[in-house]
Structure 1
């Protein structure tokens, strides 16, 4: 069975990892492999930091689509302007 699954994993260009939640065997290895794959994929998607707008750190992730993730850390000046606004 494991040989068949290993062959399938190889055919779709992925890893084959066995684990058991019952005996806690291989669980850490699976978690580490997943975390490593996520970090690798994130780096490949050209994550860049930008401070163009003067509002702190801006994170933009471009993955070939038009959508992006934008995280802005506001400065005290920006927070003060928002409080006065409304």
Structure 2
């Protein structure tokens, strides 16, 4: 569901109830600005495991493994993204 900030300010309770079922996208000047969602959804999204590895910290074996990766059949056109740039 998408609505405007004006509509939310007039009938917040209704949108709060709607957000329990599905997130409500709130727009301002025609652009998405915020999302109203159920607390349980917020908690679930907040707990998602996030892992960030710096490429400088990869071992030589990990670099070799990454370089050997190929796309699934049918996505071969994306293999070009894995090849070093030709200068």
- The TM-score, its normalising length taken from structure 1, stands at 0.25
- The TM-score, its normalising length taken from structure 2, stands at 0.25
Instruction: Choose between structure 1 and 2 for higher RCO, CA contacts under 8 A separated by at least 6 residues.
Output: 2
Say which structure is richer in strand. Answer: 2
